[in-house]
Every structure is written in structure tokens, then in C-alpha cells.
Amino acid sequence: MFIKKLPNNFYLSLGMNIHRFYEDRYTYDYYLSLTTCIYCMWGDIPHLSSKRPGELLTDEEIGPSRNHDIWWSGDDSVDEFLSVVKITEPRFTNDIKLLNDIKQSKDVNMLYRLSNETINKVDNLPDITYSFIPKKEIDNIPQKWFQAAELVLKDYEDDINFHQVKRLAADAYRQHILSVNHGVST
């Protein structure tokens, strides 16, 4: 997964997918949101927040030998893959209706609020016992991010679990890193 913070404060994620039947075939999904949690598609979150590259190309650009679900193989040129990214990324990220739909989503805004509160809480944690944090770092995310996520979730939910804490901690940490570095996260 690759994530980029856009100038409009949206996050563009590019998630690589390996074909379930052919190990040498791959494609990717875009995901556009106010958070870095790829594939959040519940409630009022727009389903068009996630698209494959073939959905963003014209029939002429795809060519007669491919269908709209584009797959590359290990033998294909990396240049071809990157050229499709260069064509499709601006088409996806400049869709004004989609951007507005995402901004108006109550569920997206809740995810965004939870992440911001986690970021704001991470350096001011009480010395208490935490119930849903991992025993060791996951994906090089320091423990304090899981602790902050657990505290924030407890303010909003009666019944939280390890997976919710992990997702929120990872999202808040990625957003923090991307804000500090102004770059791309993998």
C-alpha cells in the first residue's frame, strides 16, 4: 500500500493486489478519503471512493486486448504500469462530485475526527492499564499510538476491540507521518 497526502488534505491510497488465480498477475485499487484507512466502505461512505485503474480509462486507452479490469504480469513493463497511474490518478483525485460526497459523509468525518483526536492525545497519555494494545510494535508503530487510540475509542464506543484500536492507531500514525514528512508512506 502506498499513500499520498494531497494538497486538498485528502489522502490517496494505492493498494496493490495479486490475482487470486495467477501469482504473477497484479493490479491496484485507488482509495480516496480524509483518512488513510483503505477500503472503508460502510454506512454513507461513497462506494466510488475506491476504483480500479480500468474504471478510469477510456476504451481506446485500454485497447482491444484488455477488459476494464486491467492486470499486469511480471513480464509487463513497469513503465506501462506507471503510465496508467499518471493518466488515472488525476482523473480520480479531481472528481469534484466524489470529493464533495466524501466530505459530506458522516462516517468519513467520524473516522477523521477519531484520527485527529488520537494524534492530539498521543503525547499526553495517562499512566493506566490498557486492554486492547498489542504486546509489541506492529508495523513499526510505537505503542503510544495504540494507547491513544484506545483512549479515544473509549470516549465514543462502549464495546471496543483490538482490531478497532489497531486500525485507528495505524491511521493516526500514518496521517501524522505524512503531515510531518509531506510525502508518501508505504
pTM of the model: 0.88
pLDDT bucket at 75, cuts 50 / 70 / 90? low
Q: Do 65 and 150 fall into the same domain?
A: no
Q: Which domain holds residue 125?
A: 106-185
pLDDT for position 170: 97
Between CA 50 and CA 92 the distance in angstroms is: 9
Q: Do 38 and 85 fall into the same domain?
A: yes
pLDDT bucket at 186, cuts 50 / 70 / 90? very low
Domain boundary among 48, 79, 104: 104
Domain boundary among 71, 104, 137: 104
* HSE, side-chain direction, 13 A CA sphere, residue 62: 16
Between CA 121 and CA 138 the distance in angstroms is: 19
Strand partners, 25: 73
